[in-house]
Structure 1
């Protein structure tokens, strides 16, 4: 039996490496294409006596074509980087042994669940994932949360259902995935106000948790205000959420969104992008800002300011904003703002005064923090709302492990 397990492991390793090689070949192809499209063409010199207006039109056309080639080359390079990132991911199959698998199947059968094909996988970051084929015995259905509780006891490991699982387990066998439960949990709160002359806000945001255990906050402030600004910032927030939920790294997602905005060619369309991604297993977080206002981390009465980026989306080429990394602790709060929260204050010191206010607020819910800051900002502007205002707050706590 041991030789059969060894042969199976060797075959799985070979297939995994074969897939990686195929992905890397595709990545190299995209890299080569990126170099070809990214090569600068020599600018043709205008002939003597040529019409100045016609020469300028030709120059502008060539400039737009060159910019389009550079954007396309950047996108190809990003595709290659994404493929290499996937190929570099490592997993290790952990054999449970026939005896252990039979114990698990017998335990689940006692709870009305029929199980087979149980695989335990350790990912490159050390986190465990379990895949198992489940169906119900008889007509009674079970929820996937119930199965997670049973498996946690049988494997002596805190497991939770993966987000991609169906909610119910039925009579037809389906492969379910279970992951280690994150060490941290969170709660969110928001407060927002539209510019007093507009019906809709030009700010859009999203809170979401991806399958890799990262909780992400996205805030985008559209250029100007009103419906057009709302459409621009909504598109940025939606694109960013889709890419990060698909597993793309933070830097790559920002660069792809920037390329999408730049390719539209609208000079007045330069929304901001403010990102904070929290690793719920480690408690670390990363901020990435393009033209965004400052953010804050509140730890009791101590407040740390995270300065905003200088350029909005579409205003830079392929240079990426530098991420700011921080380590969170139990009870910390993350606060993110649109620039309407800090502009128009007497003395132009909105950021400093909000930072002072945060240090005076006690341990309350994220919603209370957001509402308190919004109320205070409007009061300082004498009740006027001259720009869209948004506050996003998230509290991070350690889970009760008992």
Structure 2
């Protein structure tokens, strides 16, 4: 900051001296310097009096008023434009200055004799000031951006050493967790013959429960090891933004009334950038972090949005922000559901959870039976899935953990379905994982695609055979998920094909309306009493 202050002061001093002179018969040097320095933010509030005072040494009062009025009008237009529009282009400042001089010359044409001469002279001068100011502004911008590189070899070495040392310690910790997991797996693989010799069934069941708990613990330790490994890999993911880019970001944000420091760019595993910076407001009102993301786009030519865990407002206190690359798609959801006849509460539960800017996971669970007990079972599945995913577990590990919990929780068997739809909003890829869940559908412009389910529900076997099906989604596609109460209500030989045709014929583009139409058309086509809870979820995806 001190170096930039010295440079801007030097530019102001040199420009003021030049403004007080006539060079090669050109009297508008002061106007050229003023508009170039003002658009680049060089001591804006000192610039006008300094330049005007310098120009008074060689100009008449009429000329001084002419250029003074032109500079004041340009100042007001540029300041008003920057406040009104976030992306106010500095080129408008040069156009305003040249246009103002031309307008003044047009006024002189009607007042003075030989008016055409003044008009032509004003047009030439206006164009000259506009073009020369633009070229000088580019030079000033370059002068302010160039930074003398200082030796940072020692600092870079220290950062490299600390980062890799921290990574090594975390990897060692992860390996310890993996070894513990293997130990628990080894204990759980003890043959059950010795238990079968037990005289009391209670003793056998207790020891079996201990084995199951050990398997669950082994899975938890393995997943913790993987999470720590991922964090260790991310430690060395911070990249140097480059001094030029850092200077441009700092300078651009300061012009908008924001002081920024400690700017870092991290490359996440998906090869997308995250920007970290510590900022506070400077001579302005508090600002929304989304507006700061728009300012980053002006410099980086890439859309950034604040992460979900970042504060929404920035004021005069320094705060650290994290910005993620904006997703390419947006998602809207719709829901329709009915409860089993004579039941007060539905046994179906769902969750649509945004993990980060570019990932949304929809979980749908159908508890065994209906009523409050089924509701509690499916709610447990959905809540645990959401918590595990939020903590950083993969969806495969989260499902295994939930399954282990259901098996080991009680002597009574607890069975629930799990229908997981994991959508990447960057590339539009959707991963389906179904455990005892009903068929899903993808509605496209050219037809409807079926996503079948063949695996058993949660709570049946300790080890699950997880299979994931990936589908590419495009602009305007819809994902339709439903519980088995919807499919089982259709009495046709092939209910999936019947549903496929029904979905294809729906014309609504609103996800909520589409979900309601699917459910209500099925209820109308098969009007007998409702024997099971019915839930339909529609997820629509569109390009931003």
TM-score by length of 1: 0.91
Shift in alpha-carbon separation, 1:205–1:263, aligned structure 2, 3 A: same
Q: Which residue of 2 aligns with 1:374?
A: 519
Alignment root-mean-square deviation, CA: 2.3
Shift in alpha-carbon separation, 1:59–1:106, aligned structure 2, 3 A: closer
C-alpha offsets along residues 161-198 of structure 1, whole Å, 9 cap, x if unaligned? 11111111011100001111111111111111111111
Q: Which residue of 2 aligns with 1:352?
A: 497
Question: Paired residue for 1:15, among 162, 171, 187?
Answer: 162
Q: Using CA pairs below 8 Å that are at least 6 residues apart, which structure has the higher relative contact order? A: 1
Do structure 1's residue 198 and structure 2's residue 335 form an aligned pair?
Answer: no
SS in 2 for 1:172: coil
Question: Paired residue for 2:384, among 225, 239, 251?
Answer: 239
CA contact (8 A) 1:91 1:123 kept: no
Question: Paired residue for 2:190, among 33, 41, 50?
Answer: 41
Cα displacement (A) at 1:234? 1.4
Cα displacement (A) at 1:139? 6.2
Q: Which residue of 2 aligns with 1:213?
A: 358
Distance in 2 separating the partners of 1:74 and 1:177? 32
SS in 2 for 1:305: strand
Cα displacement (A) at 1:215? 1.4
Structure number having the greater strand percentage: 1
Mapping of residues 127-146 of structure 1, within 5 Å: 127-138=272-283, 140-146=285-291
Question: Paired residue for 2:408, among 263, 268, 282?
Answer: 263
Cα displacement (A) at 1:108? 1.6
Shift in alpha-carbon separation, 1:7–1:336, aligned structure 2, 3 A: farther
Question: Paired residue for 2:172, among 15, 25, 33?
Answer: 25
Q: Which residue of 1 aligns with 2:535?
A: 390
Shift in alpha-carbon separation, 1:252–1:88, aligned structure 2, 3 A: farther
- Extract unaligned runs of 5+ from structure 2: 1-147
SS in 1 for 2:457: coil
Shift in alpha-carbon separation, 1:9–1:353, aligned structure 2, 3 A: farther
CA contact (8 A) 2:333 2:539 kept: yes
95-104 or 169-178, larger mean C-alpha shift = 95-104
Q: Which residue of 2 aligns with 1:58?
A: 203
Question: Paired residue for 2:239, among 94, 101, 106?
Answer: 94
248-257 or 64-73, larger mean C-alpha shift = 64-73
Q: Which residue of 2 aligns with 1:317?
A: 462
- Extract unaligned runs of 5+ from structure 1: none
Which aligned segments of 4 or more residues in structure 1 are displaced greater than 6 angstroms?
Answer: none
318-327 or 329-338, larger mean C-alpha shift = 318-327
Distance in 2 separating the partners of 1:18 and 1:306? 46
Distance in 1 separating the partners of 2:195 and 2:510? 65
Structure number having the greater helix percentage: 2
Shift in alpha-carbon separation, 1:63–1:122, aligned structure 2, 3 A: closer
Q: Which residue of 2 aligns with 1:364?
A: 509
SS in 2 for 1:281: coil
SS in 2 for 1:196: coil
SS in 2 for 1:83: helix
SS in 2 for 1:140: coil
CA contact (8 A) 2:482 2:535 kept: yes
Q: Which residue of 2 aligns with 1:110?
A: 255
Question: Paired residue for 2:479, among 322, 331, 334?
Answer: 334
SS in 1 for 2:400: helix
Shift in alpha-carbon separation, 1:348–1:385, aligned structure 2, 3 A: farther
Cα displacement (A) at 1:212? 5.7
Cα displacement (A) at 1:149? 1.0
Cα displacement (A) at 1:315? 1.4
CA contact (8 A) 1:223 1:268 kept: no
| Structure whose alpha-carbon radius of gyration is higher | 2
SS in 2 for 1:247: coil
CA contact (8 A) 2:347 2:372 kept: yes
Cα displacement (A) at 1:151? 1.5
Distance in 1 separating the partners of 2:248 and 2:514? 49
